[in-house]
A and B are shown apart, each in its own frame.
Chain A
Amino acid sequence: MSEKLIIGEHEFQSRFILGSGKFSLELTNAVIENGGAEIVTLALRRANLDGQENILDYIPKGITLLPNTSGARNAEEAVRIARLAREISCGDFIKLEVIHDSKYLMPDNYETIKATEILAKEGFIVMPYIYPDLNVARSLESAGAASVMPLGAPIGSNKGLCTKDFIQILIDEIHLPIIVDAGIGRPSQACEAMEMGIDAIMCNTAVATATDVALMSKAFKLAIEAGRAAYLAGLGRVLNYRAEASSPLTDFLEA
């Protein structure tokens, strides 16, 4: 088991992907440093090129930018936003978000697959945000996605791993890095996800809505590292309802 997170052909030490946009820009550096994050997402629609409060001015050099396509309502719009991101030198990574639901911000899995097919062919390192569905994840894998990013709970809800059992199926069946993208509300939930064998955690709201944003970023870093270590160590078994000293059902077997 490699201890590096590999996405596309890129290697990362950190398994904490940080979202931006929901906390003050001048805190960006402290949050990244405290969280040890190497990848930071940004909504392209927030990039105020040559203007005031441009988030791109606040992300330190050496950090991998993960522009997202937020605002895209269908595959076509997502593809155009991704191309725009490349044009303004945001690199080849793209966090694909296709949403046409303003209330729950649920990803449109079908349009996401269509956009992934196009963008992967154009050489993008595509990281699609999805509702955890095995068939969709398989289609994304064959369409050339570099990872899949299932939601744990609706964006911004801080509700944790509501979709845990379905994410477990993706971990078991999909050969791409699985990154939980939305819903993680507290470090203990991030730790729990990492213990399951999730490859990385992406979060924004949980950090942004903390009283001390930078300290919460550090708490996530530690939780993610602890969960990862626990996964690698192999969790001890948990007995269901009682300690079992004998084997009443198989005692009859001859030696």
Chain B
Amino acid sequence: MKAVNVNHMNYLEGMEVTDSDIMEKVLALVKKYDYRQYKSNDVKRALMKDQLTIEDYGAILSPIAMPYLEEMASKATTETKKHFGNSVFLFTPLYISNFCENHCIYCGFNCKNKIKRGILSFAEIEEELKEVARTGLKEILILTGESRHKSGVEYICEAVRLAAKYFSTVGIEIYPLNTDEYAFIKDSGADFVSVYQETYNTDKYEQVHLRGPKKIFPYRFNSQERALAGGVRGVAFGALLGLDDFRKDAFAVGLHACFIQQKYPHAEISFSTPRLRPYINNEKNSPHDVHEKQLLQVMLAYRLFMPFAGITISTRERAGFRDNVIGMVATKISAGVCVGVGGHKEDEKGDEQFEISDSRSVREVHQMILNRGLQPVYTDYIRV
């Protein structure tokens, strides 16, 4: 499934075609979304409501909503408490391979980058899992680069089976699969699937994904539907904020998740909010830059639009930001994180995808959660 000089909107051979109108609906609404049209009153009205419409969601994501951040944070805190109490869920990612067949210009793992590549053997995976389990964590997210050749579905399934021995909750963040492959992954013990669309602007998507199967926009877009059809319990959504116009991308992420939840009411929905960091004091600062204020606005908008959804905060953000968003808007936080391949038990076998900004251990994050009057939760799932 190589993709060089192919139309990024057409499926490649071997890619399952999903019969769904969600992509068309999302793309049409995003195209129409003009965040400059909103007035302060639209934001105020949205903030008075229990249940936000798509229009309201557009309003609170607009630049005119920026002065209402404090009010949004207050409402978000109430909603987060109503749905999650003071619980903060803990997990850690485990990278088992960083081989990649895609050339995505923004990513450290891309196939043109000369980095140290590595893939863990099953024995090495098990050692890593045991080491992570010793910290008390019960939830793990298994990650790979996007290479069907180096880290195939069979390999990932075996890694998931091993993970399920030590963890009550196993999620995967890997390349998109067909429904039968998702079912295979689910039967192996993974119930949660994360696939981030990076950007919902299809032209931009094409420009930044130069080659590899990831170039195919609709196959990636419909991953959550295939995963749910394969029987997984929960799916995560996200855009790489800052890659394109982050307001439009965040708007699209919310709609994507909302339409999936309407079609699959049982699906557990969650969001992640990775961003490209703007350069500080750069002359070429753009209105599309995602500083902490903008990032928080997006997170708050997700919370207010879908108050029941989980929101994960990763170690890409600094401790001071992470500590303040849990309880208010984020419900899940990573701890004891290594973003190289392996690295919990043995030295890393491959280089990192990005640099982390918070290297605190599980124990330290646990204590921080307690200090904030919140409760660290290690398990919230039984596989039955």
Contacts and interface: CB of A to CB of B under 8 A. Distances in A.
Interface in B72-113: 78, 81-87
Given A23-B86, A24-B374, A158-B82, A46 B379 contact: yes
Interface residues of B, number: 31
Contacts of B374: 24
A44 B380 CA distance: 8
Contacts of B265: 100-103
Nearest to B382: A45
B226 interface: no
Contacts of B87: 21-22
Contacts of A46: 377, 379-380
A217 interface: no
A78 to B, nearest CB: 9
A80 interface: yes
A81 B382 contact: yes
Main SS of chain B's interface residues? loop
Given A81-B382, A101-B265, A209 B82 contact: yes
B366 interface: yes
Interface in A36-51: 43-48, 51
A214 to B, nearest CB: 14
Contacts of A53: 375-378
Given A46-B377, A52-B366, A103-B265, A77 B81 contact: no
Contacts of B269: 102
A84 interface: yes
Given A53-B375, A81-B384, A102 B82 contact: no
A209 B85 contact: yes
Contact of B384 (A80, A103, A105): A80
Nearest to A157: B82
A47 B379 CA distance: 7
A208 interface: yes
A80 B266 CA distance: 18
A208 B85 contact: yes
B308 interface: yes
A6 interface: no
Contacts of B373: 24
Contacts of B378: 48, 51-53
Interface string B100-144: 000000000000000000000000000000000000101000000
Nearest to A204: B85
B267 interface: yes
Contacts of B86: 22-24, 208
A25 interface: yes
B381 interface: yes
A156 B83 contact: yes
B202 to A, nearest CB: 29
Given A24-B375, A25-B375, A208-B85, A101 B266 contact: yes
B261 interface: yes
Nearest to A106: B265
A44 B379 CA distance: 10
B308 A208 contact: no
Contacts of A103: 261, 265, 306, 308
A246 to B, nearest CB: 48
A77 B233 CA distance: 13
Given A23-B375, A45-B379, A103-B265, A72 B84 contact: no
B268 interface: yes
7 contacts: A24-B370, A45-B382, A72-B384, A84-B382, A156-B82, A204-B85, A205-B81
Interface of A: 21-25, 43-48, 51-53, 71-73, 77, 80-81, 84, 100-103, 105, 156-158, 204-205, 208-209
Given A24-B374, A47-B379, 15 more contacts: A22-B85, A51-B136, A51-B378, A51-B379, A52-B376, A53-B377, A71-B381, A101-B266, A102-B266, A102-B267, A102-B268, A102-B308, A156-B82, A204-B85, A208-B85
